[in-house]
Amino acid sequence: MVSRRSWVEQIMGLPVSVLARGEEAESARADAAVRDVFADLVEADRMFSPYKIDSAVSRLARGELSWDEVDPVVREVGERCVRARDLTGGLFDAELPGGGWDPSGLVKGWAVERAAERLREVPDLDWCLNAGGDVLVLCPSSLPFTVGIQDPRDPGRVVTSVARSDGAVATSGTAARGAHLYDLRTGDPVDTRWLSVSVSGPSLEYADVLATAAFVAGEEWPGVLAALPGYEGLGILADGNLFATAGWPLGEVAAG
C-alpha cells in the first residue's frame, strides 16, 4: 500500500493543504518541508496582505514606505505584476481604480510556487499543494492526482475534474468572494455570464493571472489563454453549462 499523509493550515484567510504520497510521505524530511511551506506562506501573507496594517502593501498605501524603501522581494512582485499586466493587455492589473496597489491576484500563485520548492527538495515524493482551490502538483511517480473543479453554484459539489502529475490549476470567479473583480481598463465591476474560469498549465503564478484575466475578459476569455503556450481553460456558465478549450482534459462531469 502506498503511504499517504496530509497536512492543513489556515493561511491567507483560506485553507492551505498538502497531500503527500510515496515512501517519503511519512518521513520527518517530508514533515519538515511542509512546515517550511506553511512558514513561507505565512511570511508572504505578512508582507503582502492588504488586510494587515503593518504589511508592505498597507504601508505603501499609507505613504509610509516608498518603492525605493521596500524589501527587494516586494519590488520583484511589483515587476511581476507589471509583466502580467502587459501580458494580458491590462485585463490583470495590480493598480486599483482610484489609486493604490493590490498584488493579491498574483501573490498567491507566486508565493505557493516559491514555497513549493521546499517540497521539490524531498526526493521521490508525490505531492499536491492546494491553496484555497488553486493547486500545484508534482508526481515523480507519474501517477497523477485528480483535481476537482468546484461548482460555483454549489461549493460542496464538483462539476468535473482534471488529472495532473505536474503543473497547476487555478480558478477565478465569484463563488468564494462574490463580485469582487473589476475591469481595471474601465474601473467598472466585471459583468459577465460566466461564473468561473479555471486554467490549467505549467505555472500556478501564470495560471492564476490568466484565470483572473480570462474572467475579466468575459466572452473573449478563451483568447486570453493564447498569451502563453501550454495553458488551457474551462469556463462555467450561470446555467451550469461548461465550455473548455481544445486542450483541456475533461474528466467525469457531474450530472445536473
Q: Following DSSP, what letter does each residue of 9-58 receive, concatenated?
A: EEETTEEEEEEEESTTTTSHHHHHHHHHHHHHHHHHHHHH-TTSTTSHHH
In the chain, the number of structural domains is 1
Q: Which of 15-24, 95-104, 144-153, 171-180 has the lowest mean pLDDT?
A: 171-180
pLDDT of 187: 60
| Predicted pLDDT at 253 | 44
**DSSP assignment letter at 93:** -
Query: Would you say residue 250 lies in a domain?
Result: no
Within-domain flag for 210: yes
45 within a domain of the structure (yes/no): yes
- What percentage of the chain has pLDDT greater than the value 70? 90
Tell me the HSE value of 119 on the side-chain side, using a 13 A CA sphere: 30
Is the pLDDT reported for residue 157 higher than 50?
Answer: yes
Give the pLDDT band of residue 188 (cuts 50, 70, 90): low
Q: According to the model, what pLDDT value does residue 75 have? A: 97
Whether residue 233 contacts residue 221, with contact meaning beta carbons closer than 8 Å, is answered with yes
Model pTM? Answer: 0.91
Residue 186, pLDDT score: 63
Structural domain contains residue 254: no
Mean of pLDDT values over 89-109: 90
Whole-number pLDDT of residue 182: 64
Residues of the domain holding 191:
4-244
pLDDT value at 180 more than 60: no
The identity of residue 6, as a single letter, is S
Structure-model confidence comparison of residues 171 and 175, the more confident one? 171
Angle at 79 between CA 74 and CA 81, to 5 degrees: 95
Asked if residue 145 is part of any domain, the answer here is yes
What are 151's strand-pairing partners? 154
- pLDDT above 70 for 89: yes
Q: Give the pLDDT of residue 252.
A: 47
The whole-number pLDDT of residue 251 equals 56
**DSSP per-residue string spanning 150-207:** EETTEEEEEEEEEEESEEEEEEEESTTT-S--EETTTTEEP--SEEEEEEEES-HHHH
Cβ–Cβ < 8 Å for 231, 219: no
Q: Which residue has the higher pLDDT, 251 or 93?
A: 93
Residue 38: inside a domain: yes
Residues sharing a CB contact under 8 Å with residue 131, sequence separation 6 or more, in sequence order: 11, 12, 14, 16, 41, 108, 112
Q: Which residues pair with 194 in a beta bridge?
A: 237
Residue 254 has pLDDT above 50, yes or no: no
| 174 within domain boundaries | yes
Nearest to 217 by CA among 236, 245, 244, 197: 197
β-bridge pairing 188-189 and 154-164: unpaired
CATH of the domain at 197: 3.10.520.10
From 38-42, 88-92, 124-128, the region with the lowest mean pLDDT: 88-92
Asked whether residue 235 carries a pLDDT value surpassing 50, the answer given is yes
6-13 mean pLDDT: 96
Which pLDDT belongs to residue 228? 94
Residue 252 lies in a domain: no
In this prediction, residue 62 has a pLDDT band, given cuts at 50, 70 and 90, of very high
